[in-house]
Structure 1
Amino acid sequence: MAQPGRRILTATLVAGTLDIIAASLLAISAGRTPDKMLRGVASGPFPDATSWGLGGAALGLAVHFAIMATMAAVYVLAADRLPLLKAQRILAGIGYGIATWAVMNLIVLPLRWPTVFPHTDLFSIASQLFCHIVLVGIPIALIAARR
């Protein structure tokens, strides 16, 4: 079996890249730019980052991948201890995608931006669930199950 660190890194890079591409496309479809979206991500832990230009966007990308590394590490380490997560990787990935969506959209984001989150429009909920399930949960679960 591949070492946990290698699977965590791979899952972080794959899911993180898929998710940030989707987030960029969603930002563009909403009339915003990817760099503004990334500065918004950075403003979670660094509130002034929205005015930091490309430096704020780069920091947002780093924050995004740090969050994704945490998501990947939690799942990979859990899957190494719970064989069912590897045996039922697609179903477990769907469940993990829903769980990560719930944590981010119902707890983390509303705590930081209570006037904006949680989103209640159907498109936003559906697109975020899709991203968390198909682009985050399932890829992490598949990579975690690698030998």
Structure 2
Amino acid sequence: MAARGCWSPGTVILVATLLCGTLDIADAAIFTLAHGHDPLVMLRSIAACLLGPGAMRGGYAMSFVGLGLHFLIAAFWASFYVLVVGQVSVARRYPLAAGVIYGLLIYLVMNYVVLPHTALHIPLPKGGLGMVNGLLALMLLFGVPVSLLNRKRC
């Protein structure tokens, strides 16, 4: 019998996707606004990574596609944590450390493997405030919450 108040892996993945995806995109939107840019354009750039530079001219519909892709990526990373990383005993024993390390892993994979090979061929990060924000966001707003949520898993 499952422990009272525990969640299925699917529930943990769903909640983590919605929570962590929302925290991450909110951080990106605030950072974008703080630097004088339009968050809708930032969302279109996510779509353009998959669909090509023409997506940048897509308006609201393409911004919505970018938002959907963001949450699809968040679902992947949440699923990978819950189904693979979160099963490792050390990750379950030290969820804060595991979450920080997982956020760092996400940053490295996305910025050094995935983004350079997208339709936009985004160059490797060069440091600076954007890099610091990206690292902290993925460690503290994605990695740590998904790791803590994984403790609810049956």
TM-score of the two chains, using structure 1 as the length reference: 0.93
**Per-residue deviation at 1:91?**
0.4
For structure 2, list consecutive stretches of 5 or more residues without a partner in the other structure. Answer: 1-5
Q: Indicate if the aligned counterparts of 2:86 and 2:147 stay in contact, CA closer than 8 A.
A: no
For the pair shown, the structure with the greater C-alpha radius of gyration is 2
* 1:25 to 2:30 alignment: yes
State the aligned residue count.
146
1:39 equivalent in structure 2: 44
The residue type equivalent to 2:39 in the other structure is: P
**Per-residue deviation at 1:122?**
2.1
Q: How does 1:76-115 map to 2 (within 5 A)?
A: 76-112=82-118, 113-114=120-121
1:73 equivalent in structure 2: 79
Within 2, Cα distance between the matches of 1:79 and 1:39?
Answer: 31
2:57 equivalent in structure 1: 51
The residue type equivalent to 1:64 in the other structure is: H
**Per-residue deviation at 1:83?**
2.2
For structure 1, list consecutive stretches of 5 or more residues without a partner in the other structure. Answer: none
Per mean C-alpha deviation after superposition, the further-off stretch among 11-20 and 48-57 is 48-57
Of 119, 127, 138 in structure 2, the residue corresponding to residue 132 of structure 1 is 138
Q: 1:121 and 1:82, CA in 2 relative to 1: closer, same or farther beyond 3 A?
A: closer
Q: Indicate if the aligned counterparts of 1:2 and 1:146 stay in contact, CA closer than 8 A.
A: yes
Moved over 3 A (4+): none
Within 1, Cα distance between the matches of 2:27 and 2:86?
Answer: 29
Within 2, Cα distance between the matches of 1:46 and 1:110?
Answer: 14
Give the share of equivalent positions with the same residue, in percent. Answer: 32
